[in-house]
């Protein structure tokens, strides 16, 4: 993969953040698994069911790394053996599955991650706000990572990590898993991180990367995950993807409504989010189960098929370039 980096330091973004001293802190889940591991196949579904609940989809970032344990013939490990192995080495991984939450490796147990454990990391804030934007056509992509200090960032040995992941891979692997989520593909920074000097309060740093998508990947599923970590403590300062809500001029996540036509819907409904472009559409049942998930290609009008849904109330979430939009939808 060809990849290049440009770096610049500047003043505040063109946003009015004088009263904003902290940003939403996303929970980073570094998930170590293996496509030939039967134990992984038995524990991963419960883990995915937990983090895909509606109340967590806007709060966590997940990436799955595939070390060579217990099998060095794992298809995803073989896709990038050097960096998969190096990432696992950072945590001393000797078996799978395991998960690290904000840099803290969770002890092995009957579950990869308990709900009460995850709850301890939720609803926190960070003095660092990260924003990822992506552009490009074909197999050449550009990723921009903006890091803004909203208040004083504690002293520490910080590194920036920027990874390329494939959101969904439908492939039946030897352990019986058929769907693989947020699969790590390549690093745009060194796998051990790139030196990151926190900007002073009210200032920002910008990192720009250009990379080429491997022909073996699904280009419409590829995205970038960025995070800043204190490598001495492994604590994650914050993380970001292009799917996150951007800060508005008041410093709060931008959440708006969706206009449906029709609503109630019978066989299909059309959704619009004002002057924004849709990147992803999700539909959830009232019980929090995600029943529809589709990537959009900067669409002004999103087509949501509803014929197969049972009658009732649903919650729709559309991730746009400018923010996250939510609204209720009724299926007749």
Cβ neighbours around 116 below 10 Å, total: 7
Bridge partner list, 226: 162, 240
**More confident of the two residues 16 and 223:** 223
Residues 6+ apart with CB under 8 A from 298: 277, 278, 279, 321
Whether the CB-CB separation of 112 and 249 falls below 8 Å is answered with: no
Q: How far apart are CA 239 and CA 163, in angstroms?
A: 11
Residues 6+ apart with CB under 8 A from 209: 3, 4, 5, 142, 143, 144, 145, 162, 188, 224
Q: Does residue 2 carry a pLDDT above 70?
A: no
Q: Does residue 5 carry a pLDDT above 80?
A: no
Question: What Rg do the C-alpha atoms of the chain give, in angstroms?
Answer: 20
The full DSSP string for 57-97 is TTTEEEEEE--SSS-TT-HHHHHSHHHHHHHHHHTT--SSS
The full DSSP string for 134-177 is EE-STTEEEEEEEEEESSPPPP--EEEEEEEEEEEEE---TTS-
Segment 115-133, tens digit of pLDDT:
999 999 998 999 999 999 8
Segment 187-227, tens digit of pLDDT:
999 999 999 999 999 899 999 999 999 999 998 899 999 99
Q: Which of 292, 300, 294, 293 is nearest to 321 (CA)?
A: 300
Q: Among residues of the chain, what percentage have pLDDT more than 90?
A: 65
Residue ranges and CATH numbers for the domains of the chain are 3-240 (2.60.40.10), 255-331 (2.60.40.1220)
Bridge partner list, 141: 211
Range in 6-10, 24-28, 243-247 the model is least confident about: 6-10
The model carries a pTM of 0.75
Q: Does residue 7 carry a pLDDT above 50?
A: no
């Amino acid at each position: 993969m060809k990849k290049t980096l440009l770096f610049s330091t500047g003043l505040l973004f063109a946003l009015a953040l004088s009263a904003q001293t902290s940003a939403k802190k996303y929970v980073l889940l570094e998930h170590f698994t293996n496509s030939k591991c039967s134990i992984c196949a038995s524990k991963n579904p419960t883990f995915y069911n937990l983090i895909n609940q509606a109340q967590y989809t806007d709060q966590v970032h997940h990436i799955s790394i595939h070390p060579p344990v217990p099998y060095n013939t794992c298809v995803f490990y073989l896709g990038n053996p050097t960096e998969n192995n190096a990432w696992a080495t950072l945590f001393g991984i000797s078996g799978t599955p395991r998960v690290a939450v904000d840099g803290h490796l969770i002890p092995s147990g009957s579950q990869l991650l308990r709900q009460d454990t995850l709850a301890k990391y939720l609803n926190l804030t960070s003095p660092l706000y990260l924003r990822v934007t992506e552009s490009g056509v074909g197999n050449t992509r550009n990723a921009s990572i903006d890091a803004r200090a909203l208040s004083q960032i504690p002293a520490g040995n910080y590194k920036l990590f920027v990874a390329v992941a494939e959101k969904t891979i439908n492939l039946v692997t030897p352990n019986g898993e058929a769907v693989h989520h947020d699969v790590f593909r390549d690093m745009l920074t060194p796998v051990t991180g790139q030196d990151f000097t926190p900007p002073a309060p009210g200032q920002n740093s910008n990192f720009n990367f250009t990379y080429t998508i491997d022909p073996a990947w699904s280009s419409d599923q590829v995205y970038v995950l960025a995070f800043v970590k204190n490598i001495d403590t492994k604590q994650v300062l914050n993380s970001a993807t292009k799917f996150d809500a951007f800060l508005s001029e008041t410093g709060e996540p931008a959440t708006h409504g969706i206009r449906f036509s029709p609503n109630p819907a019978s066989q299909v409904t059309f959704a619009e989010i004002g002057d924004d472009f849709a990147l992803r559409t999700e539909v959830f049942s009232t019980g929090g189960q995600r029943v529809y998930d589709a990537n959009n290609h900067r669409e002004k009008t999103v087509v949501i098929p509803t014929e197969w849904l049972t009658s009732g109330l649903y919650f729709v979430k559309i991730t746009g370039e400018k923010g996250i939009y939510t609204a209720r939808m009724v299926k007749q």
